[in-house]
Amino acid sequence: MHLWGQQVVDGLRGVPNVGLHCTQLRVKATLVVNEGGEPMPSPFTASKLVLRDEVELRLSDWFNPRKRPDVVTTTDWLAPVIWEGTFNRRVLEEYYRGQDLTIGLAVLATGRIADQYLELFMQSANKHFMTGYRVIFYIMVDAMCQLPNLEPGPLQTFQVFTIREDSREDFHLMHMKNLASHILGHIQDEVDFLFSMTANRVFQNDFGVETLGTSVAQLHAWWYFKDIKDFPYERRFRSAACILLGEGDFYYDGSVVGGTPLEILDFIQEYLEGMIHDKENGLNSTYERYLNKYFFTHKPTKLLSPEYSWDTALQLPAQIWLVKAAQCSHMCLHT
């Protein structure tokens, strides 16, 4: 089912002026019977339903890139880059309120991150993350974590999972392996869209449905304002994460990734395969570099501006109109 679901997603990438993909996750591949009488999945019905929703809401209905001439608002592959001022929240809300959506947020909170930031993260998410919609928080902690006293807000539910730890693995690898297991086990049946974030951030303003899409990448707060030749891509050509000099387009923040559960599962699979490939060849790259390679070869359908994951250690430039979420430094703990 994962394969057929991915074929549907890949087939839609070439559709022009695609605005929003709303029903594709909840549509399972339809069973048909082949000439031998054996059941086989068909992506036709799912594709048809998704295209129906695209007709209902086009990108031009809610997105106006001309309102932000000071920044990049559309990629070379025609994906929108979401900045404050580019989207019409009223149109989006009118559309999504009728879609019966459930949105998932997988939160990685291990060790010191959980102790210092999880409570603040959850308190701010209750106020600002997808307010007015059903949200399932998948809180992923290690065995030693002492959970704060968390109270879900209206339409919110919590699911807490213990990450299976391996001292030989970094926390990104542990998180993604566990997240893939939960996507396959139940998340793909529970939510329409899924975000994965580390807990060391605070939501400061609405992080809303303008961020939803099939494949959502977060622009890096620091590297967005730098020259592409200086991006810290993996340059060793034998690595699965390699992006050669002269290639690339943006540098993406590894602490936020979003999309449909099947799309995130596809990314995790390629990330893990890349890790294995490099290990077998005596190489070791970083999670963020594998993520950047994935989005270089599988272009995201929507990009979030640095406003959605701002670094509080940086001075705010004029291009940042409204910080939606801030990665925590010590300053963050006192806001």
Contact by Cβ (8 Å): 192, 22: yes
Q: Which two tokens stand for residue 226?
A: 């730098």
Secondary structure (3-state) at 89? helix
List binding-site positions. Answer: 220, 288, 311
Question: Half-sphere exposure of 194 toward its Cβ, with a 13 Å CA cutoff?
Answer: 26
Domain boundaries, the chain: 59-334
Whole-number Å distance between alpha carbons of 149 and 119: 8
Q: Which residues pair with 303 in a beta bridge?
A: 81, 217
- The average pLDDT across 21-30 equals 38
pLDDT band at residue 207 under the 50/70/90 scheme: very high
* CB neighbour list of residue 56: distance below 8 Å, 6 or more residues apart: 95
pLDDT band at residue 90 under the 50/70/90 scheme: very high
Contact by Cβ (8 Å): 326, 310: yes
pLDDT reading at 104 higher than 90? yes
Residue predicted with more confidence, 52 or 288: 288
Residue keyed to tokens 């000071």 = 70
- The average pLDDT across 114-133 equals 93
Residue-level pLDDT at 166: 63
For 311-325, write each residue's pLDDT tens digit: 999 999 999 999 999
Secondary structure (3-state) at 233? coil
Characterize 314-335 residue by residue with b for buried, 16 or more Cβ atoms within 10 angstroms of its Cβ, and e for exposed: eeeeebbeebbbbbbeeebeee
For 155-165, write each residue's pLDDT tens digit: 999 999 988 66
Contact by Cβ (8 Å): 308, 325: yes
Residue-level pLDDT at 282: 94
* CB neighbour list of residue 168: distance below 8 Å, 6 or more residues apart: none
Contact by Cβ (8 Å): 194, 258: yes
For 209-224, write each residue's pLDDT tens digit: 999 999 999 999 999 9
pLDDT reading at 233 higher than 50? yes
Active site annotation includes 288: yes
Output the furthest CA–CA distance in the chain (Å, rounded). 67
Considering only 22-36, 265-279, 298-312, which range has the smallest mean pLDDT? 22-36
Q: Which of 190, 263, 288, 307 is catalytic?
A: 288
pLDDT band at residue 144 under the 50/70/90 scheme: low
Residue-level pLDDT at 28: 39
Which amino acid type is present at position 214?
A: T
Residue-level pLDDT at 208: 97
CATH architecture of 59-334: Alpha-Beta Complex (3.90)
Whole-number Å distance between alpha carbons of 21 and 19: 7
**Considering the chain, what is the average pLDDT of its residues?**
83
Q: Which two tokens stand for residue 304?
A: 């979030």
Predicted model pTM: 0.82
